[in-house]
Chains A and B, each alone.
Chain A
């Protein structure tokens, strides 16, 4: 798992050729949101790495789990130590593709709908996902947005019985990345 992300990025750079086709960020934002009658929990991570190759449609993320910040310190502790076990699984990754790169004119400003498909790895468990989102082209930037849900159980995340009423079975993930053109 360790270097899969790097390997994919290297191949992403080498296969396509020119740097002008790559857009990257190290400060992407991912929010997760859990809502139950007992409690609403949300956490933000604003240090997300992401890269997009507009020619091939390759799209990758790497998220450091300890980068998530919660309003309550105790929830942040439980998230890292008990639920996602950040000491064992420090990262989450997404390695996939946008399904319609030819339908998006990355040279023309505007907002385009897209579907992204690939492997999402959280807590050491990899599952195939396909989700809808948008890309907005604005000047030299591409802004990617998506909102989707993941089942906690799908990623083998165990919630203790004592707090099972506090955490939703389905967590809403919001992705918001502002990608800059990679300069050679």
Chain B
């Protein structure tokens, strides 16, 4: 009887620990630290823009949802609401300047504001797709300037 109670007690404790683990590490897991994520691709910014221009579907299948390291000349920094966006301009179109837009991680805002434009930079960001006028990435961080 005593032994059975002991086993039940152990099973209850293991169950509680397992439930806590599932909640904490699966259901309630935190977002990745984008600044530390390894980039899956590395290229010039213009190369990414051209690939989306040439074949949006193929480029989207390849790069959407992936971290990409990009190198190129940043022309503008745009600020709106809580977003600070690094802009690499390659074209002029119906939406004004068109190119690659990277919204930065909040931790990068001060560093970005200090950069004199135009500037050659290396950044890392998460690709979310193309709006036809621009290739859009988010969670950007500066790798080198």
Contact = CB atoms under 8 A, between A and B. Distances in A.
Q: Tell whether A and B belong to one assembly.
A: yes
Given A2-B57, A27-B80, A66-B129, 9 more contacts: A9-B94, A13-B94, A27-B83, A65-B129, A73-B32, A80-B65, A87-B64, A90-B60, A91-B129
A51 B65 contact: no
Interface of A: 2-3, 5-6, 9-10, 12-13, 24, 26-27, 29, 46-47, 49, 51, 62, 64-67, 72-74, 76, 80, 86-87, 90-91, 178, 182-183
Contacts of A49: 95, 131, 133
A62 B60 contact: no
Interface of B: 26-32, 56-57, 60-61, 64-65, 78, 80-83, 85, 94-96, 101, 103, 128-134, 136, 138
Nearest to A49: B131
Given A47-B103, A86-B65, A74 B27 contact: yes
A182 B26 CA distance: 45
Contacts, number: 88
Contact of B95 (A51, A91, A178): A51
8 contacts: A6-B133, A12-B94, A26-B101, A29-B81, A49-B131, A66-B128, A87-B61, A87-B65
Nearest to A76: B31
A9 B132 CA distance: 10
